[in-house]
Structure 1
Amino acid sequence: MRTNSSLTVVTRDGDVITAKRARGGSASSSSLIEINALVQELTKKLETISHNCDRLKFEIVTAQSEVDSKQGAFDIALSKLNESDARIAALTEQLAVSGQNMKSASAEVERLNLAIAEATSAKGRDENELSIASAQLQQHGDIAEPDHSAAENLRNQVSLARTAEVEARLAVRTSEERVDSIAARAKALEDAANTEREASERAVSRRGARARGALISSAIAEAAYEALIHIERSIAKAATERARLEASRSDREGETLTVRSRGRELATVLEQLTSSVHKDEIARAEQRMRIEALEVKCVEELGVDTATLVNEYGPHNDVPTFMETEDGEIVATELIPYRRDQQEKRLAATERSLTLLGKINPLALEEYNALEERLKFLAEQLEDLKRTKKDLLDIIKEVDDRVQQIFMEAYTETAKHFEDIFARLFPGGDGRLILTNPDDPLNTGVDVEARPPGKRIKRLSLLSGGEKSLTAVAMLVAIFKARPSPFYVLDEVEAALDDVNLGRLLVIFEELRESSQLIIITHQKRTMEIADALYGVTMRGDGVTEVISQRLRDSESA
């Protein structure tokens, strides 16, 4: 407590001692509620301490990261300062070299100025000599031509002097520009050195500030670490105390669970006893209600009270037995002593018989009358249906007789005409129609037998294509003659015929056209020749279909 004022001591008797106060406890064992309250309080304190510990850990980590970042920045600034010092040294060296170059250039400028001055003085002397020579030449114009080599030498010297003057001026200008450039570079190097020096001073000051901040952060981190160690110790002590209290609470909870289990068992027994009492009371009440209902039923249905009924039909009286005679009557035979099991069996058998009989229907008589009326109505309807069936059968017989008569008449006429026309289309041949079932004309079929001249076959499937076509035409013409029609439409019926058979067919067409109109689709010229009018379909040059008609009989008569 003296070394660490933040500790809290709790004794086994419940005394709580801190650095500032002490609170007494009870020597007796704490109750379960007090222990739970203390555990909850300690749990809250532990959560608060854990929260503070986490917060301090986070602050330590943050401070350490900040120290690391500042140390990194310090190292970067130090490296930049070293680089700046190196650049300053290099610039100082370059500045010294530039100073030497400027001195050399100044000396070169002075030398060139002296050369220019000498060249200027030589030029002046040469010009004076040239003017003197020119004057002498004018004075001695009629003298013999002198030697010009000296003048040429002078001119050459003048030209060389001028060239030297120009080169000297150019060298002077170049040297001046070099001097200016070196001076500007020296100025820039000096400014850069000053800037680097100021930056180095600022970096040094920032480095000092960072170092101080690092020291402060280190101190904070050490203090936080010590606080963390202290907190962890406190947490360990609190955890130990919490474990002890939880063990005590577990023991108390086990005792509580045992007591509660025993209480639940007793409550279950009490509930069962209460339920049994209630069931007995309900059973007695039901028995009373049944007895009262039976008493009321005896009075209402039998007209006697229960005392009289018990005296006359009670278990102390003998029970009569009954049997059924041959006439179906139920008569009493003998009396037997009352036995409950036998009477219950008789009651059950009687109830089953009553159940089989079903409930009494008070509307049975009305339903019987209605069903009787319905039966009478249905009988009348059935008689009506029978009469209708007989009438329909008579009508069907009349229709069948009429159809049979008409069919036989048509068949007889068609068969007669077929034999005649077949003989005309096949001279020397034989053709006829035969019924497949002569005894039942309504359901019979008709077979066609055709034997062209010179052949023995009679089946149509063995004939040639032209013979089949001509036989079919003979059949159609026979039907036309037996049952004439106002007009007929024939589609290329003569397409498979040769000229001889076509001529025979055209004779038949001439006979048919006397009583009917014929519309024939054909490509045969001979068929077109006997026509009264022709209708053709052609295509014009522009691709449009056009119908052309021509009446042949009118044109021939004209």
Structure 2
Amino acid sequence: LTGLMEQLATGEAQITAVEREMNELAARRRRLETQNDETTAERKAIEEQGLSSDALETAEADLIDAEKKLKVARGTLDTAEAEREKADAEHNKTRDVRSQADESLSRLRAEAGALEDLLATEAEALDADWVPMIDAIDVTGGYETALGAALGDDLDAPFDERAPRHWQIMGFPVGDPGLPAGAHPISEYVGKAGPLTRRLAQIGLVSDAETGERLARELRAGQRLVDRSGNLWRWDGYVSRNDARSSASARLRQRNRLTELTGRIATAETGFKKIEAQHSTMREAANAAGDAARAARAALDAADDAAANARRIHTGLAREFAARVARHENLSETLSRIVADITEVEALEKDALKRQTAIGDLDGLRVNTDTLRSELNEARAASIAAQGEHDQFTRESEERHRRITALASEETSWQARYNGAGERISELEARDAQARDELKALAARPTEIKAQRQKLMDRLTASEARRNEAADAVALADEYLSQAERTMRDAESKLSNVREDKVRTESAVAQAKQTRETVIERITERLECKPKEVLALAEIAEGKSVPDLESSERRLERLLRERDNMGPVNLRAEKESEELVDKIDSIQTEREDLVSAIDRLRRGIASLNREARQRLLVSFQEVDKHFQDLFVRLFGGGRAHLKLTDAEDPLEAGLEIYASPPGKKLQALSLLSGGEQALTATALLFAVFLTNPAPICVLDEVDAPLDDANVDRFCNLLEHIAQSGTTRFLIVTHHRMTMARMDRLYGVTMPERGVSQLVSVDLRGAEEIRAIA
């Protein structure tokens, strides 16, 4: 019995060991087959997704093409900016030429207008009902003084028989005497003479005063001699030097000057139209160049966005491709290990089966050991389960180690990107501050320039007024001089009539006395001294010869003409001109500085806008992704998304929220119910918060419009966010469900009127105490 028991015990022990081993091997084989099927399916799924790098290579080619286009766009923008600057320079040049031409034309028009006003004023002083001959005839330039000295006030008479004093055509009688040899009729230089023809035929024009003096004695009755300087010799012995100014000659010169100005104005207007057309062409070219530059800048922004998008796509594909290849390799290694384990299990099963066969038939012994075997089977099953859990824990540990290694690598990568982003943000903040400082510094410059320009315009207006006043004073003085000359000529005419009754022998003496008196009067009037003091005034010593009379008169005549041509003199004109030129140069320099600063500021703004668009689009996509996930979590289904609307530029675009709760169609936020709007707004709020989390978040009665079911979803979302991050939430609420889900409660009570007390309850600690109890 003892031997049998020992044999039974030995056989039972061997049978038990073999069965246990076979059971363990069978369980292990089933687990390996399950792992093999799962691993094979996962690897097949990865292979179906594709392990080829064609998409990555395509993305890389797209990235290279986008960067090439970006480079081309930068070159196009540089070329367009250069063309714009060139066009602006040409436009500024033509504008300066136009300003000069406009200024010249304005001066001509101003002078012509002044002459027209002066001639109109003199015409009003005459008989307004008749046209005087002085306005009807044409005089060759340079001969106005001679004609005015020859006819004088007779030119004021009209060619109209109704006038009390007028000219009429008399014809050319045969007996009219001819002019002396060496003199030719002044009528050759007068057009539209009409009734003046006979009178002009008896007025001779001589080359100089000496010829006039010589030919004056050969004059017949009614004849006269004049020279271009205004000297007059009459047949009866009357002589008038060019010192006696004639209003008629001044009026004739003014009319000729007006005619000349009219021609010059027409020519200047024609030239100004050409310059204006050229200026318009340059302005259009400058505008076209500006449009091209803006288009090139927009193309550059688009190319930059496309390059950034291609870079982002390439990075994502590269990361996804690398992860897929690594996972496929891991799965392949796992499959190899599983196949090796299955082969080993099959070999062990065969060995166990051989050992079981070698033990022999123990059915009789098993009858007596069923109870013991069942206990052993239970222990064996427990051992197998423990071994399975141990294997599962081992695999999970290995998987966690691999995940930790991958997370550490990603953390290093994200830390590097974070450091780069911080440096970029600091640089952009510095550039933004600099641009704002420049904008503030330049904001007041246009107002200052406008004020300076207004001051210059006021001074120019005042100068123009002073010039007009001086011109009016000169015209008035000329009028007074004309009246005085007419009075003097009337007196001389009366004196001449008295002298004609005297003996001709006394005429020469009277003429000499008159000449002497005239000279003395001229000396007294013009030099304000006595005749004896003239030599001392002229700084001619006694005994020295007096300068030639003819050369002195010619010089005097020339100086008088130059003075007349100069017109009224503004003694401060040169100084004022220099001041204006300096101010214009200063304003032009400041304008160029402003244009340059504005251009730099625009480039800085464009760069900031481009960076802002990129960051806004990235943040918007991240917020939209979080919003879609949170919307589904809060509503238990449905779908929603965000969309930029109403503008092509993301910085100027609006935001529209489209939501579709479970069982409803997709629609705008404004069409949802109040509770649905509150939940959607909560999802958007947390989506923004997850994009840029903060250490502390305060929510003030967010759950007020929600029912109990939605409050429960809200609390679940809040707990999920709090557990997955490091943010601590401070929630102000009156809802009991929200208060029940919090970790700690703070409340304010008023046990006595006017006395408040803060009460806090640690709900998490209370739950732990209750669980222990």
TM-score over 0.5 for the pair: no
Pick the structure with greater CA Rg: 1
Output the TM-score relative to the length of structure 2.
0.28
